[in-house]
Structure 1
């Protein structure tokens, strides 16, 4: 649903850019908390969550290259708003989608540059916002178990796509450059994107479910379902504080105990495989917006992209004649660029939060002596039947991917 230049007039495009900039500014502030691991069990730190957020952006980029057929002569692709919101949080999710859209527009001539604000508003703010509000609402009424996260993810992902389509139609009703019946556009857009939503729900649910199966502590939307770490200090069971955990491991105040290297490498390999190999077999049919524009007669308003002469335009490398190799290399470059830019952005967000938190800290650090100096004992919440799980010395379990 990448809106090209020319579909929306200049005033509405400018207003959408202001809305998108405001959404990004608010998201930058919210992402500082999400990326710091606040509210997570086991003290997830920014040195773990920033690379994971960059990985999510890279995965969304790769998945958007895989157009799948949804009807005769029509295809669709992942929007990724629900996926990003559930995995890394709504604010970080908006930033992930923004990074993807920016790189697609600048490097690959996909989505207009003057329409970037429209795309960020439609796919970022509306897509992510709709998905996360519905996701949290469903979790509030469903039983507190892992299956509820899967169900809520599926429904939220499905609903986010027609919601984004309706948002585009609203913008087109106000600033469309062609006089067409808006009710017909709305019906067509929501109808075809409801079919796209089925694919969105399937991809998002499978991806979130895979991460839940191996590392539920890394899923932002499932943090409330993971038992927080408990420490036995002086015979009393208390919630572990980040400082306690760092002291027990001999780490700095803002370092997390272990980076989930296996998860990150696996996710990156999957993204590279999707963009570099599987994308060659994607559907070549026009996507939902292109199809509706052609049917309703406003496709002719699309303007030539400002970066149409880019070496990577249309997801291919101009100097390579072989289509499979050209598209595959372009996809791999895109995944690498998105992962690098995304991780760098999120790392800056984390650093800014650390500096702000450090300036406001006045706590005195004193060495522990006596019985309190003994290493605390960790307990992972209540055990079966409501009893306490057996205590064991810190640190926490080793990442399963690192035992080999």
Structure 2
């Protein structure tokens, strides 16, 4: 659903740019709490930072895998639901934003003047809608791993048509062609409901796989452990709470290196090899744009001459090798860029909450007065 330049006029693109910038600023602040892990209520946050960059790279890789959804139409993962559930909603917005930035600048995928539109639609809308849906479901469902996986499926399913509705709204405000909005809405929502099924399957499978191996690494699974049950008189009852809460298990000491390496290798294989077999059909937005004529004023991408434009390496004629190398480079760049952002946020959070650091700053500020 990457919106190219020329679909939305300049004023609406500018407004969405401001909205996107504001959302990223809020997410930077919120992600510092999600990545901090400095209090009991934030237990597990110290493990989120190294995985957040990986989540961004994984989303980049899976977005290269267009899957067929209808005659002549394909779809791909948006990733907002997956990111929000794995690493938190604020960090999730940043993950998808990093992916969109890398795609727009390096691969000429999604217009640069439309970057605000894409971040607002694909990062903010999908993440917010998915996470609110997910949290609502896990509160009413039994506390179990299956309920988390099922909630992930539903949340991802709903997030995709929600993004389609959001695009239609933006097009109604600033579309550059005179097309019936009703027809655009019907076509967009219809095809993206089908794409949402694929998104839901990918999200649920990924969340379920991580929960099966390391449930402590899933942000959406924190605090959802089941209470211990005892059989009394042939009936299951909740075990009494201990008089004194034991110290938390040292899960932070458990290495996440194996999960990180497995995730990176999976991302590289998907982007470098499996992507060659992805559907070549246009995705949902491209198909609707061509059928309804909303692409008449689409503009050439500002980085269309990039060495990696259209997910291929310039001057390499072998399509399989060219696409595979581009995918591997994309995963590498995204994981480095994402990890740098999230590590910086975590260090900032640690500095802000370090009593020794705070005391040092206070003493330094008082020294001139004493002198």
Aligned to 1:154: 153
CA apart distance, 1:226: 3.6
Using the alignment, how far apart are the partners of 1:236 and 1:155 within structure 2? 38
Give the structure 2 partner of residue 289 of structure 1: 285
Which of 296, 300, 304 lines up with 2:300 in the alignment? 304
Which string of whole-angstrom CA distances, capped at 9 and with x for unpartnered residues, describes residues 302-349 of structure 1? 100000000000000012110000000000000000000000000000
Contact 1:12 1:175 in 2 (8 A): yes
Specify whether residues 226 and 38 from structure 1 end up closer, same or farther in structure 2 by C-alpha distance, changes over 3 A only.
farther
Deviations 1:116-151 (A, max 9, x none): 000000011100000000000011111111111011
Note if contact 1:7-1:301 (Cα within 8 Å) is conserved in structure 2: yes
Secondary structure in 1 aligned to 2:245? strand
Q: For 1:128-182, what per-residue CA distance to the aligned partner results, in whole angstroms no more than 9, with x for missing partners?
A: 0000000000111111111110111000000000000000000000000001100
Normalising by structure 2, what TM-score?
A: 0.89
The answer for the alignment partner of 1:358 in structure 2 is 354
Taking the TM superposition and a 5 Å limit, the aligned residue runs for 1:384-403 are none
Compare the two structures and name the one with the higher helix fraction.
2
- Residue 318 of structure 1 aligns with which residue? 314
Residue pair 1:145, 1:225 contacting (<8 A) in 2 also: yes
Q: CA deviation at 1:33?
A: 1.0
Any conservation in 1 of the 2:149–2:208 contact (CA below 8 Å)? Answer: yes
Give yes or no for the alignment of 1:168 onto 2:170: no
Question: How has the CA–CA distance of structure 1 residues 40 and 112 changed in structure 2, closer, same or farther, with 3 Å as cutoff?
Answer: farther
Unaligned runs of at least 5 residues, structure 2: 228-241, 361-371
In the alignment, the residues of structure 2 paired with residue 43 and residue 18 of structure 1 have an alpha-carbon distance, to the nearest angstrom, of: 33
Distance 1:40 1:104, change over 3 A: farther
The SS at the match of 1:70 is strand
Tell me how far apart the structure 2 counterparts of residues 82 and 52 of structure 1 sit (CA, whole Å): 16
CA distance in 1 between counterparts of 2:38 and 2:26 reads: 17
CA distance in 2: counterparts of 1:202 and 1:16, whole angstroms = 30
Counterpart residue number, 1:141:
140
Query: Partners in 1 of 2:139 and 2:155 — Cα distance?
Result: 14
**Alpha-carbon separation, structure 2, partners of 1:38 and 1:226:** 21
Q: Which residue of 2 aligns with 1:270?
A: 266
**Corresponding residue of 2:59:** 60
Match in the other structure for 1:11: 11
Task: Check 1:324–1:40 CA distance in 2 against 1; reply closer, same or farther (3 A cut).
Answer: farther
The answer as to whether partners of 2:101 and 2:115 remain within 8 angstroms in 1 is yes
Contact 1:75 1:288 in 2 (8 A): yes
Contact 1:41 1:223 in 2 (8 A): no
Moved more, 143-152 or 308-317: 143-152
State the distance in 2 between where 1:30 and 1:83 align: 18
Match of 1:27 in 2: 27
Superposed displacement of residue 227, structure 1: 7.3
Deviation at 1:39?
6.9
C-alpha deviation, 1:240, in angstroms: 3.1
Q: Structure 1 residues 350 and 168 mapped into 2: Cα distance closer, same or farther (>3 Å)?
A: same
Secondary structure at 1:299's aligned position in 2?
coil
- The alpha-carbon deviation at position 301 of structure 1 amounts to 1.5
Q: Partner of 1:183 in structure 2?
A: 182
SS in 2 for 1:309: coil
1:40 and 1:217 in contact (8 A); partners too: no
**1:36 Cα shift?**
1.6
**Alignment partner, residue 345 of structure 2:** 349
Quick check: 1:196 aligned with 2:195? yes
Note the C-alpha offset of 1:44.
2.8
CA contact (8 A) 2:52 2:95 kept: yes
CA distance in 1, matches of 2:182, 2:246: 55
- Contact in 2 for aligned 1:41/1:226 (Cα 8 Å): no
* 1:261-301 deviation digits (Å, cap 9, x = unpaired): 10000000000000000000000000000000011112221
In 2, distance between residues paired with 1:283 and 1:40? 46
Aligned match of 2:69? 70
Unaligned stretches of 5+ residues in structure 1: 229-234, 247-255, 364-404
CA RMSD across the alignment: 2.1
